[in-house]
Amino acid sequence: MIIVTGGAGFIGSAVVWYLNRQGIDDIIIVDNLGTSSKWRNLVTRRYVDYVHKESFLEQVRNNAVDYSVDAVIHMGACSSTTERNADYLMENNYRYSTILARWAVDRGIRFIYASSAATYGDGSRGFSDDDAVTETLEPINMYGYSKQMFDLWVLRNNLQETCAGLKFFNVYGPNEYHKGDMRSVVHKAVQEIEKTGEMRLFRSYRREYGDGEQRRDFVYVKDCVSIIGQLLNNKDRNGIFNVGTGRARTWNDLVSAVCRAMNRETIIRYIDMPEEIREQYQYHTEAATDKLQTAGLAGVHYSLEEGIEDYVKSYLMGEERCLER
């Protein structure tokens, strides 16, 4: 049995999609559906059961998981970079993860978890996933700090030798429609361009970056789940790895790629960035990918243009709202 926490969410449901395509449906989905629409991500998926995240945590704490578990793919977390309830993030993102990881590792269960590029803060310390660098990072929002706390816990307990963590950079792709403001700019751009004929981007507030020239490492969700699949099949490949293309691209590049996929003229209007996020804004992210390659894991397949074309044409402007069967 494979446990996928956050299995109805963006990356989690894409993991289930990937597993189903490999002929695997011996899966337990752990999540908190609440009143969100992310349940739609499960409609075409094959799995054995759904368990609420608190019920599953209680089973783990009471040693009451009464089925054989081969792997835990822990994607469940609050992923909002603007969440201000620090106690909630500590319990939901950090404490929950420590309990689940210890339970899995003590039983020899494969444990793969989601970290985040938000741990790199303002990027002044670079984007190396070397463990020595990880220990020096200073996130600039509480979400990133909750992920950093767990990465440090893994290192302090030497679990980087027995489990795999993935620092996802800017992920975009199918199944993110329910994320509200946390949706990728690709998803937002298609809706805004269809409605207004143009896309708004934040002005730059640093001289070395022009408007829209702020850079991110954008990675397609299909590449992310492919890497998870490789880790699932190679239990000796462990550590904390960056997951990105290794090439930073501008927001202008992204919007141009979206417009090209939509067969629209590229029209961009630059607007003021809200003052409350200016001090937390990352102007440049770029994953160092040598550690992933040294581990013998294949990196990304899709370029920015290829990923956006697939996403926009096959999903956002196609008949499939979610990942296909």
Residue 305 identity: E
Residue 108: name the closest of 28, 66, 162 by CA: 162
Residue 172: name the closest of 5, 33, 306 by CA: 306
What does the block give as tokens for 234? 């190679």
Q: Measure Cα distances from 124 to 158, 167, 168, 298 in Å.
A: 26, 17, 18, 28
Between helix 304-311 and helix 251-262 the angle, nearest 10°, is 40
Residue with tokens 């090209």: 260
Report yes or no: 84 and 141 within 8 Å, Cβ to Cβ: no
Residue 163: name the closest of 88, 206, 105, 83 by CA: 105
What does the block give as tokens for 210? 């022009």
Report yes or no: 31 and 5 within 8 Å, Cβ to Cβ: yes
Q: Is 179 noted as a catalytic residue in this protein?
A: yes
Among residues 50, 179, 235, 270, the one annotated as catalytic is: 179
What does the block give as tokens for 53? 């995240």
What SS3 state is found at 173?
Answer: coil
Q: Is 222 noted as a catalytic residue in this protein?
A: no
Among residues 18, 96, 143, 145, the one annotated as catalytic is: 143
Buried b (16+ CB within 10 A) or exposed e, 62-79: eeebeeebebbbbbbbbb
DSSP string, 57-85: HHHHHTT---S---EEEE--S---TT---
Task: List the catalytic residues.
Answer: 143, 179
